[in-house]
Amino acid sequence: MTCNSVLAFRDMTQPAAQAIPPESPPTSVAAGKTRRVAMLNLTLLLALFGYGNYLLASPWAALTLATLGLLLGGELALCRTNLQQYRDFAKVSNDLLWETDARGGFTVLNGILAQFFKLQLGQRWLSLFPEAPDLAVLKAAITACRPFRNLELSVQLAPHQPPRWVRINGIPLLDEFGKLRGYRGTALDITPHWQAREALRTHVIRLEREVVTIIRELRLANQELTERERHLRILVNAAPVGIAELDIEGHCRYLNPVGCALTDCAEQAAWGRHFFDFVHLDSRDYVKFAWDINRASSQVHRIEFRLQGSGLWVSAYWVHLFEAVQQPLSGSILIFSDVTETRRKDQQLRVQAHYDSLTELPNRVLFRERLEQTLRRANRERQNVALLWIDLDGFKAINDRLGHAAGDELLQQVALRLRNRLRESDTVARMGGDEFAAILPAVTDLAAVTRVAEALIARLSEPFRLTGGIIIPASASIGLVLYPLHTEDAQALTQSAEAAMVAAKQAGKNQAALWSSPVMEPSDPL
């Protein structure tokens, strides 16, 4: 009985049917059937070779032949049934069951896939695979008469149709002399699987290219950031101002060279120190207050304070950093510059604008400011305020006789006596020439003010010793006015005190006079 080979392509779009292997290994039942067929064949051969008459003459032999005939008929019927089942399974199988002759032409085609591919008997099966990665492996196996398994090949069914992909298996068929008489095997349609795999491979390749591109871009961006960071660090180190970076708690994470010089602290020593440690004790409470109330603000703030290490005054701008809107504080940047000399000059200008250069007492401008402040406070706290207007007696004659240098020295000693005799809370100002004024806040009554005025007259009546041993006798006239007893207006209070001083001079000098008449008008001092 000649066995032909079967090629099985499986259509992945159809449900898979159980494939029947082309050749099954012999079982014990099959072996028994084979032995019975062999005995029957032997009996028939004996009959054919001249022993027929002998066998027919023996009843037992005749019975044996009849029995063997029955067995042979049953075996033949069973073989036909099995063969029909095999053919039915092969017809409905989704795989392609194929068999070829020695020249490579199809001799058997079974399975639904054979109809889908429209294969024909006699068609050369290698013509279905024009180009495929495993085609060389297939040809090598055929040349060596070897079996092949799981070879993936593309099938070109029509010139203008996309190829299909199959996974093919095959075994060689040899005759009794060992000569190749064909191949038998199966084929499975793996087009969806292959397309999915190719799509995945293409996607992986595309992803690899994208990853390479992204890595290249990140590398370039990192190089650019590194270069920018280097440039920024050069600029920060060369900046003529101190720059400090603080963490979320206010500890120093970076301090540039100018900052190190201003704080008198090395960069390594500054690392980890709190910002407040660099602030002088006199300024620390104020800086803490300003820092805390602006902690949640992202605006730029400015503050001036004194440094602890160097004692310099700095003007600082700082901004709190936030990761995003409505996010917690992530750190702060502080930029500060030395303003010590500027503050010194500003203080000098302020002194020149508000203090008398000769006596170092407040001048007329600062006197008015102090008087307004004192009156407002007295109004809130319901206190009395006394104003004394003091004028030296006969100063013009002393100045003309001894010269302006002696007159200036006399004014300086008068200012010193006035400061030493009054309280720290009192204000003594030079109003111009030889005129002085004193503001006495929180006085108890008029009698206390009168005693203060009399004490000042007594102190100024003592002789003054100038440079060169010159002794000058002097005296002063004082006008007194009381707030709110006499008036509540600052300007009226000043005019009234000056008028009372004029009245004291007119009364004989070297005495104090209390303002009492609103019609009294000041006249030129004597």
pLDDT tens per residue across span 335-385: 999 999 988 888 888 888 889 989 999 999 999 999 999 999 999 999 999
Alpha carbon distance 233, 229 (integer Å)? 6
Domains of the chain plus CATH, in order, are 28-190 (3.30.450.20), 239-343 (3.30.450.20), 355-514 (3.30.70.270)
Checking if the pLDDT of 511 tops 90, the result is yes
Largest CA distance in the chain: 195
What residues have CB less than 8 Å from 163, skipping those under 6 apart? 154, 155, 156, 157
Tell me: pLDDT of 416 over 90: yes
Q: Which residues contact 115 (CB under 8 A, 6 or more apart)?
A: none
The CB-side HSE value for 523 (13 A sphere, CA atoms) comes to 9
Residue pair 124/105 in contact (Cβ under 8 Å)? The answer is yes
Stretch among 4-18, 372-386, 392-406, 438-452 having the lowest mean pLDDT: 4-18
> 32 and 71 in contact (C-beta within 8 Å)?
no
Give the integer Cα–Cα distance in Å for 121 and 203.
Answer: 40
At residue 2, does pLDDT exceed 60? Answer: no
Examine the pLDDT at 200 and tell me if it is beyond 60. yes
Q: Is the pLDDT of residue 468 over 70?
A: yes
**Hey, what are 481's tokens?**
């006015």
Separation CA 256–CA 254 (nearest Å): 7
Please tell me the predicted confidence (pLDDT) of residue 453.
Answer: 93
Predicted confidence at residue 483, as pLDDT, reads 92
% pLDDT > 70, the chain:
80
Arithmetic mean of pLDDT, 403-428: 92
Which among 412, 375, 352 has a CA at the least distance from the CA of 494? 375
Residue 14 confidence (pLDDT): 39
- pLDDT of 448-457, one tens digit each? 999 999 999 9
Q: Specify the pLDDT at position 326.
A: 57
Does the pLDDT at position 520 exceed 50? Answer: no
Report the candidate in 292, 288, 5, 299 with the shortest Cα–Cα distance to residue 169: 5
Spatial distance between the Cα atoms of 157 and 115, rounded to a whole number of angstroms: 12
- Under DSSP, is residue 385 helix (H, G, I), strand (E, B) or coil? strand
Least confident of 281-290, 292-301, 411-420, 489-498: 292-301
Q: Out of 52-61, 168-177, 247-256, 471-480, which region has the weakest mean confidence (pLDDT)?
A: 52-61
Structure-token match 């969806």, residue found: 192
- In the predicted model, is pLDDT for residue 241 greater than 60? yes
Structure-token match 């032995």, residue found: 35
Tokens for 271, please give them.
Answer: 């690392």
Top mean pLDDT of 6-10, 154-158, 401-405 is at 401-405
DSSP line for 2-45: -----B----TTSPPPPPPPSSPPP-HHHHHHHHHHHHHHHHHH
Decide: 184 and 22 in contact? Cβ < 8 Å: yes
Handedness of CA 229, 231, 237, 239 (dihedral sign): negative
* 3-state DSSP assignment of residue 69: helix
pLDDT tens track for 82-110: 666 666 666 656 678 889 998 889 898 88
Q: Average pLDDT, stretch 119-129?
A: 83
Choose between 37 and 127: higher pLDDT: 127
Alpha helices in 316-403 (DSSP H): 340-354, 364-381, 395-402
Say what the pLDDT of residue 30 is. Answer: 46
Rounded to 5°, angle at Cα 69 from 65 and 71: 115
523: confidence class by pLDDT, cuts 50, 70, 90: very low
Indicate the range of 53-67, 316-330, 488-502 predicted with least confidence: 53-67
Average pLDDT over residues 483-503: 91
Report CA-CA distances (Å) from 329 to 270, 294, 453. Answer: 21, 11, 62
Q: Which are the contacts of 439, defined by CB distance < 8 A and separation ≥ 6?
A: 367, 370, 371, 374, 385, 386, 387, 426, 427, 429
The residue that leads in pLDDT, 142 or 65, is 142
